[in-house]
Amino acid sequence: MSLKELTKDIHLEAENMPWAKLLVSHKMTAEQYALYLNNQVACYLALEDRADHFGILEELPGLERAMNIAHDRSFYDFSPKIFPSVNKYIKYCSKMKRKQVLAHIYVRHFGDMYGGQMISKAIPSPQNIDWMGKNPDPNSWSTMYNFENKKELITSIREDLSDDMADEAKTCFQFAINLFKELEEYYDVSEVNIS
């Protein structure tokens, strides 16, 4: 079985969370997206710091997302709130081994490369930019999901992936699900109010 098949169930669970559905619904508010980005910055900084420790970012130029997410966040008025699951993730990342880091890159960065294309079309416009009545192009402020050398990155990362990383990939999905649950509770998001 491939890593994709081995993680299919938890991947579907994450995709079917109300927060994940809200991300692609065109109904997310700028405030909600800003808080999501703020927590994503913290997650990606922790993961990429650990990846840098093993030289992975040097091996995969263009992979790094933390600064892109921070760039995107800067266009929004955001709360500095960091959820408990994110603090746990930061601690977890600090102890990961190289293979674990690669499993988390598989979940997070591959997710950005694939699912990010749908999300980028649905993100809310920043509230602190005067668009002078025009409908802005999200590419003018959103860089999180823009990978210049996507095909090369996918090929390079896949070379380092193996089926024995499935449990660690599931751990990463679970951290994402935990954050989604916290965001859903914080904003009282449910299936009902997304439809």
pLDDT of the chain, 195 residues: tens digit per residue = 699 999 999 999 999 999 999 999 999 999 999 999 999 999 999 999 999 999 999 999 999 999 999 999 998 998 999 999 999 999 999 999 999 999 999 999 999 998 888 898 898 988 655 555 555 555 566 889 999 888 999 999 999 999 999 999 999 999 999 999 999 999 999 876 776
Q: How far is CA 150 from CA 35, 123, 166, in A?
A: 27, 21, 22
Q: How far is CA 164 from CA 12, 56, 99, 103, 137, in A?
A: 20, 19, 9, 10, 41
Per-residue pLDDT, 117: 85
DSSP 129: S
Spatial separation of the C-alpha atoms in residues 178 and 90, rounded to whole Å: 14
Chain-centroid distance of CA 69 in Å reads 9
Per-residue pLDDT, 29: 94
Per-residue pLDDT, 1: 67
- Please provide the DSSP assignment of 62-94 as one string: T---HHHHHHHHTTS-------HHHHHHHHHHT
Token readout for 21 is 């559905």
Tokens 């997310």 sit on residue? 28
Closest CA to 158 of 96, 102, 108: 102
CA trace torsion 41, 46, 47, 51 (10° rounding): 130
Topology adopted by domain 3-128+139-194? Heme Oxygenase; Chain A (1.20.910)
- Break the chain into its structural domains and give their ranges: 3-128+139-194
Q: What is the pTM of this model?
A: 0.92
At residue 121, the 3 state secondary structure works out as helix
Per-residue pLDDT, 126: 81
